[in-house]
Chains A and B, each alone.
Chain A
Amino acid sequence: MMATSETERDGLVVRDASVRFGTTSAVDHVHLALRSGDVLAVLGPSGCGKSTLLRAIAGLEVLDSGSVVFDGQDLAGVPTYRRGFALMFQDGQLFTHQSVAGNVGYALRLQGIGRSRLRRRVRELLELVGLPGYEDRRPATLSGGEQQRVALARSLAAEPRLLLLDEPLSALDRSLRERLANDLRRILTETKTTTLLVTHDHDEAFTVADRMAVMRAGQLVQDGPTVEVWRNPADADVARFLGYATVLTGPAAIRLLSLSGGRRSAGPDPAQPQVNTPDAGTSEGLQVAVRRSAVRVDPAGELGGVVESVSAARDTMRITVEVEGLGALAGVAGLDERFETGQRVRLTVDPAGLAVLPPR
C-alpha cells in the first residue's frame, strides 16, 4: 500500500499526513502515492476527510504531521501558487467578471504568454472540453455542465504538474454526470495529466480513474488499481460503499460460496486470488460481499427463497429474496417478469459478482 520505492520518486507522495481541526482528525496519518500520468480517485462518504486531504496537497491546509512530496521535493512551506498544481472545485468557482476566454487564459497570462499564442491555446482548450467558440461568453450565462467544462479548461491551461479535482461532477444531474465523466477520462488520458480526483461516487471513480483510494473517518482504508479494489474490498463497509448490495457472514457466507461453485471464476484479472471453500473451522469471521447484479432470478437456479420486495429500476427489476439458510439477498430480474411478495422463486449466483472479504 505504501509507495516509497525508488520507482515512485516521480509523481506525488503523501507520507503520514494528518490534519486536525481542534480535537477531530480530518486526515489521520494518510499514506498515498500517485505516479506521473496516473489518475487516482480518492473515494469516501462525505465528511471522511477526502477534501481536506486534497486541500492539504494543494497547500490550502497546513499539515499537523507528515509531508507532501512531489517529484522528490518536499512541499512544506511552498505556497499554493508556487506548487504548479491546479485545483478545480465542485462548483467551478469561475471568475464571474471575466469572460470564458479570460478564465481559461488566466494561468497563461500569469506565465506572460504572448497574445496570439494565448488566443490559440484558449481555442484549443475550449475545443478539447467541447465548447468551441465560447470565448466571449460570460460565466453567468453558462449551464452548470458548461461551467464545469470551462473550469476544467482553465485548470488544464497551465499544464499543471498535478491536477486536483474536488468532486468535479457532483453538482451536475445524473445523465450529464455520466457523459462528462467519460469526457473527463478522455481529456485526462489525451493530455496525460497526473490527476487526483476526490469523489463520493464510485461510478465516477471507476470511469475516470486508474487507481482508487478509499477513505473513511480520516484514514485510508484501501488503495490499488480500481478494478482490484472493486473486486477485493478490504471490509464490509468498503464493500457496501462500492455498491455491493449484501454482505453475508459466517455460515451463510460459506453456504453461498459452496452453492455457487465453491470458488469464484478467474475473471479478466489473472492476478485475482482464488478463493476456496474454507472449512468449518475458519468460518467464524468469514464474510462474502454480493453484488446485486450477480444474483439473478432463474428457474434452474441453485438457491430457493421467498420474494420479500420488488421495485423497478432503470433497466432491471430489483428484487429482495429471503433465502433459506442465508437470509435476505438482493438481486435482479428481467423488466418483463412479474413477481408478488411471498412468491417462491429460484436464484442463480454469478461467482464473478462475489467478493470474499479478508478475515478480520
Chain B
Amino acid sequence: MGLALVPVVFLAIFFVLPVAGMVGRGLQSDGAWDLGGIGEVLGRGRTLRILWFTLWMALAGTAFTTVLGLPVAYTLYRLSLPGRRLLRALVVMPFVLPTVVVGVAFRTLLAAGGPLGFLGLDGSWAAILAALVFFNLAVVVRTVGGVWEGLDPRAEESAAALGASPWRVFRTVTLPALTPAITSAATIVFLFCSTAFGVVLTLGGLRYGTIETEIYILTTQFLDLRAAAVLSIVQLLAVVAILFVAGAARTHRERAMPRTSLLSGLRRPHRGDLTALALTGLVLVFVALPLVTLVARSLQVGDGWGLANYRNLGTTGSGDALVVPVWTALDNSWRTAVDATLIAVVLGLIVSIIVSRRARSAWGRRVIATMDGVFMVPLGISAVTVGFGFLITLNRPPLDLRTSAVLVPIAQAMVALPLVVRTLVPVLRSIDDRLRQAAAALGASPLRAVLTVDVPIVWRPLLAATGFAFAVSLGEFGATSFLARPDRPTLPVVIYGLISRPGAENFGMALAASVILSAVTVALMGLVERLRVGSMGSF
C-alpha cells in the first residue's frame, strides 16, 4: 500500500494545495478569515445571472445530449450496420477535439458568411448549447452503447415471448438495465457542460458566461480574487455532489451487470428501427458539419482556394499576433503532452490497481471508494482554479515552480488522470481475482502472477488510455492558458491568441492550426480505436 502514497502525495501537492491556496487567498484578508464576502458575492446580480445561466445551460445540454445520444447508441451498438466502427469513431471524435477548436469550428459554421449563417445564431446561447451537445455526445454514446452492446438479448427475448410489444420490452426490460449507465453518463455530461471553459469562452464572448469563464474573467481582468474564490467553492461543492451521484450509478452498474460475451446482441435493422436510424443520420451530419466547414474554410484564401493559411503557420501572424510561429507551438504541445501522458499513465495505473482491489474489511472498502471518488474530482474542478492556484501556491521554496516548464505537463496530467483511471478500472475489476490465486497456488510469485494474469489483459487498455491521455493533453486549454509561459505556448493557446486578434489572416491561421491539431488528435484516436477498448471514454 506504500505505492498508494505516490498518487496521493501528487494529488495533494498539485491539486489540493493550489485549489486550497486559491480559495484561501480569496477568503482571507490581512491573514484573517473573512467569510462575510461569500454572502456579498453570491448576492450580486451578476453572480446570480452567471449561476443561473450555468445551471440551465448545463441542464439543457445534458437533456439534449442524452436524448440524442440514446438512439445513436442503439443504432451503432445494437444494429449490425456496415461501417459501424467508422461511425462509432466519428461520433467519439468531438470529445477529443480541443475545446478551442470546437469553438472555432462552430463560429465558422454559424458566422454571417458560413453555411448556417442564415440562422443568425452566431454569438447566441444556442451556439454554445449546440457546441456542448456536439462535444459531449461521445460520453453518452460510448457509455450507454457499451452497456447496451453487452446486454444479454435473452432477457428481451423472454419478455417478447411473454407478449410484450417492442416498446414495452424497451420500457420494462431494456431501459431499467440501461438506467445506471444513462445516469452515470448524464451526470458526467452535466459536469462537463457546467464546467466547460474553452467552448464558452470562444463562443460566448462577453455576452454569455458560466461559472468557469467568470472565474477566469474575475481573476485575470478584474483581479477580484475573493469573488473568484467564492465561485470556485460553489463549483467544488457542486462537482463533488455530481461525482457522488455518478459514482453511485457506476458502482451499481459494475455490480449489476452480468455481461455476456458468448451471444452477440447485434441484429439486422428492420422497419421499426427507422426512427433511430434517421435520428442517427441527423446526429452524424450534425457532428460532421462543423468539422467539414472547418477544413473547407481553412483552405479558403480571399475568394479562392489555397494553402496560404497553412503556409502562414510558419509565421507569427499579421501584426505579430504571436510570440512564436505556430509550428513551434505544435512542437511545444507535443513535448508537453509526452510528459503529461507519462505522469498521467503512471499515476493512473497505480490508482487503478489500488482502486480495483477488493477490500475485505468495511474500512478498506470505504478507503478504496473514497480514493476512487477523489481522483475523479480533477475532471470537474475548474481548470482555471487549478491553473491560477498553481501560480499563487507553487511560487515559493521549497516548491518554486512558477517559472518552471514542468507546471504545464503536471496540470495537463491532472486533467487526463481521471480518464486513464476510468479506462483501466473496469478492465482490472473484470479480472477474476481467483485467476491470480490460481497462479499463486501453482507457485507464481505476486509479480509473476501479475505478468501471467493482468498484463495480457491490460496492455491493450493501457495503450488506449495512453493515447487518450495524450490526445487530451494536446488539447488542454483551461489550465494551460494560465501556466504556459508566453515564449512557450501550446497549440490551443496559440489558436485562442489568433482568434482574439483582428484580421482575416489571423483567423485563417487559427483555422489551419485547428485543422492540424484536430488531425493529430483524430489520427491518434483512430489508432487507439483500433485497440477496441470498450471502457475508453465511457463513465
Contact = CB atoms under 8 A, between A and B. Distances in A.
Nearest to B441: A87
Interface string A92-122: 0101010000000011001100000000000
A81 B434 contact: no
A246 to B, nearest CB: 39
A21 B359 CA distance: 11
Contacts of A107: 442-443
Interface in B422-476: 432, 434-435, 437-446, 448-449, 452-453, 456-457
B452 A85 contact: no
Interface string A192-211: 00000000000000000000
B32 interface: no
A107 to B, nearest CB: 4
A133 interface: no
A287 interface: no
B12 to A, nearest CB: 31
A316 B126 CA distance: 78
Contact of A110 (B360, B442, B456): B442
Contacts of B444: 81, 106, 110
B442 A60 contact: no
Interface string A66-100: 00000000000001111111111100010101000
B362 interface: yes
Given A89-B434, A93-B434, A97-B457, A110 B443 contact: yes
Contacts of B435: 93, 95
A158 B443 contact: yes
A58 interface: yes
A110 B437 contact: no
A111 B448 CA distance: 12
Interface string B122-136: 000000000000000
Given A22-B362, A97-B456, A84 B443 contact: yes
A155 interface: yes
Nearest to B261: A140
A80 B440 contact: yes
Contact of A60 (B437, B445, B446): B437
Contacts of B445: 81
A154 interface: yes
A85 B443 CA distance: 8
Nearest to A97: B456
A155 B434 contact: no
Contacts of B456: 95, 97
Contacts of B439: 81, 95, 106
A21 B365 CA distance: 13
A109 to B, nearest CB: 10
B461 to A, nearest CB: 14
B432 A93 contact: yes
A164 B441 contact: yes
A21 B440 contact: no
Contacts of A86: 441-442
B443 A154 contact: no
B457 A89 contact: no
B441 A58 contact: yes
Contacts of A79: 440, 446
Interface residues of B, number: 22
A60 B442 CA distance: 13
Contacts of A88: 438
B438 A110 contact: no
Nearest to B438: A93
A95 B453 CA distance: 7
Contacts of B442: 81, 86-87, 106-107, 110, 154-155, 157-158
A81 B360 contact: no
A88 B434 CA distance: 10
A81 B362 contact: no
Contacts of B446: 79, 81
B438 A87 contact: yes
Nearest to A88: B438
Chain A CB within 10 A, most for which of B432, B438, B445: B438
Contacts of B360: 21
Contacts of B452: 95, 106
Contacts of B438: 87-89, 93
Nearest to B445: A81
Contacts of A89: 434, 438
Contacts of B361: 22
B428 to A, nearest CB: 16
Interface in B352-378: 360-362
A110 B451 CA distance: 12
B434 A110 contact: no
A249 B361 CA distance: 44
Interface in A17-65: 21-22, 55, 58-60
A54 to B, nearest CB: 10
B448 A110 contact: yes
A183 B418 CA distance: 51
Nearest to A80: B440
Nearest to B455: A97
Contacts of B437: 55, 58, 60, 80, 87, 93
Contacts of A154: 442
A147 B435 CA distance: 14
A81 B432 contact: no
B449 to A, nearest CB: 7
B449 A81 contact: yes
A156 B362 CA distance: 37
Best-surrounded residue of A22, A58, A89 (most CB of chain B within 10 A):
A89
A157 B453 CA distance: 19
A155 B361 CA distance: 30
B441 to A, nearest CB: 3
Contacts of B443: 81-82, 84, 107, 110-111, 158
Interface in A144-168: 154-155, 157-158, 164
A122 B200 CA distance: 64
A84 B438 CA distance: 12
Contacts of A95: 435, 439, 452-453, 456
Interface in B499-525: none
Contacts of A87: 437-438, 441-442
Nearest to B361: A22
B457 A81 contact: no
Interface string B214-241: 0000000000000000000000000000
Nearest to B362: A22
A158 B449 CA distance: 16
B189 to A, nearest CB: 35
A58 B437 CA distance: 9
B439 to A, nearest CB: 7
Contacts of A106: 439, 442, 444, 452
A58 B434 CA distance: 12
15 contacts: A22-B362, A59-B440, A79-B446, A81-B440, A85-B441, A86-B441, A87-B438, A87-B442, A95-B435, A97-B456, A106-B439, A106-B442, A107-B442, A110-B444, A110-B448
Given A80-B440, A85-B441, 19 more contacts: A21-B360, A22-B361, A80-B441, A81-B441, A81-B446, A81-B449, A82-B443, A93-B434, A93-B437, A95-B439, A95-B452, A97-B456, A106-B439, A106-B442, A110-B442, A110-B448, A111-B443, A155-B441, A155-B442
- Name the 10 nearest CB pairs between A and B, nearest first: A87-B441, A80-B440, A107-B442, A97-B456, A93-B438, A81-B440, A110-B443, A93-B435, A93-B434, A81-B443
